Amino acid sequence: MQRRTFIAGAGAATAALGARSAWAKPEHKWKMVTTWPKNFPGLGTGAENLAKLIGEMSGGRIQVKVYGAGELVPAFEIFDAVSRGTAEMGHGSAYYWKGKSEIAQIFSTVPFGLTAQEMNGWMYHGGGLELWTELYAGFGLVPAPAGNTGVQMGGWFNKEINSVADLQGLKMRIPGLGGEVLKRAGGTPVNLPGGELFTALQSGAIDATEWVGPYNDLAFGLYKAAKYYYYPGWHEPGTILEAMINKDVYESLPADLQSIVMNACKVVNQDMLAEYTARNPAALETLVSQHDVELRKFPDGVLAKLRTLSNEVVAELAGQDAFSQKTFASYQKFLKQAKAWSGISELTYLQARDRLDQQTDDQA
Tell me whether residue 126 or residue 179 sits nearer to Ca ion (CB atom): 179
CB of 310 to Ca ion, least distance (A): 15
Q: Provide, rounded to whole angstroms, the least separation between the CB of residue 210 and Ca ion.
A: 5
Residue by residue, DSSP assigns 1-51 as -HHHHHHHHHHHHHHHHHHHSSPPPPSEEEEEEESS-TT-TTHHHHHHHHH
Half-sphere exposure of 217 (CA within 13 A, CB side): 35
Whole-number Å distance between alpha carbons of 344 and 37: 40
55 vs 233, beta carbon nearer Ca ion: 233
Give bridge partners of residue 96 from the DSSP assignment: none
| Smallest separation, CB 336 to Ca ion (Å) | 25
249 neighbors 85 (Cβ within 8 angstroms): yes
Q: Which is nearer to Ca ion, 88 or 236 (CB)?
A: 236
Can you tell me the distance from the alpha carbon of 105 to that of 211, in angstroms, rounded to the nearest whole number? Answer: 17
DSSP β-ladder status, 188-190 and 171-173: parallel
Q: How far is the CB of 342 from Ca ion (least distance, A)?
A: 22
CB closer to Ca ion out of 45 and 152? 152
Q: Distance between CA atoms of 111 and 234, rounded to whole angstroms? A: 6
Name the minimum Å distance from CB 212 to Ca ion. 5
Q: Kindly tell me which of 43 and 249 has the beta carbon lying closer to Ca ion.
A: 43
- Residue 302 beta carbon to Ca ion: minimum distance, rounded to whole angstroms: 18
**Closer Cβ to Ca ion, 118 or 210, answer by number:** 210
Task: State the minimum distance, in angstroms, from the CB of residue 93 to Ca ion.
Answer: 9
Number of Cβ within a 10 Å radius of residue 205: 13
The contacts of residue 292 (CB under 8 Å, 6+ apart) are none
Binding site for Ca ion (CB under 5 A): 152, 210, 236
Q: Which run of H or of E encompasses 108?
A: none
Closest separation between CB of residue 332 and Ca ion, Å? Answer: 23
State which residue, 180 or 236, has the beta carbon closest to Ca ion. Answer: 236
Of 68 and 237, the one with the shorter C-beta distance to Ca ion is 237
Shortest reach from residue 230's CB to Ca ion, in Å: 13
- Closer to Ca ion at the Cβ: 93 or 327? 93
Strand positions, DSSP E, the chain: 28-34, 62-67, 89-92, 141-148, 155-157, 171-173, 188-190, 208-209, 228-231, 240-246, 294-297
| CA atoms lying within 13 Å on the CB side of residue 324 | 14
- The 3-state DSSP class for residue 289 equals helix
Q: Is the dihedral of CA 289, 200, 189, 133 positive or negative?
A: negative
